[in-house]
Amino acid sequence: MKKIVFGLVAVSSLVFGAGCGGNYCDDAADAYEGLADKANDCPDIKAALGDLKFSDSDIDECKKDLDNCSSDEKDKLNDSIDCINDLPDCESGKEADWVQKLTACAQKSSGVTCE
């Protein structure tokens, strides 16, 4: 279980640290808050995710970074958020599978460097 949690924290850092573009900032804030709800039945994962709320200043800063993102990067970011939104709820006993799905979502934003 510890491996799963450590992997989840690493993946979360990749996804949450990605740059921003378009409506991505507002969509990301909503998706990350929804992600915490999806982990309700998996307490170790929910704890690893921590507080996923974006402040207004976080969203504003994200929106300012828009000019640094290419259209390809924006597409990748939006694909990642769509993937997170489509994740099923985590089920106790199936945490590893859920983390793999979250990892796949994070990989959709691979190569994004705008921040």
Burial 100-113 (b: 16+ CB within 10 A, else e): eebbebbbbbeebe
Report domain extents, the chain: 2-107
Q: What is the pLDDT of residues 67-99, one digit of tens each?
A: 788 888 888 888 988 999 999 999 999 999 999
**What value does the mean pLDDT take over residues 106-114?**
84
User: Residue 42 — φ and ψ, nearest 5°?
Assistant: -130, 80
| pTM of the predicted model over 0.75 | yes
Query: What is the C-alpha separation between 32 and 110, in angstroms, rounded?
Result: 18
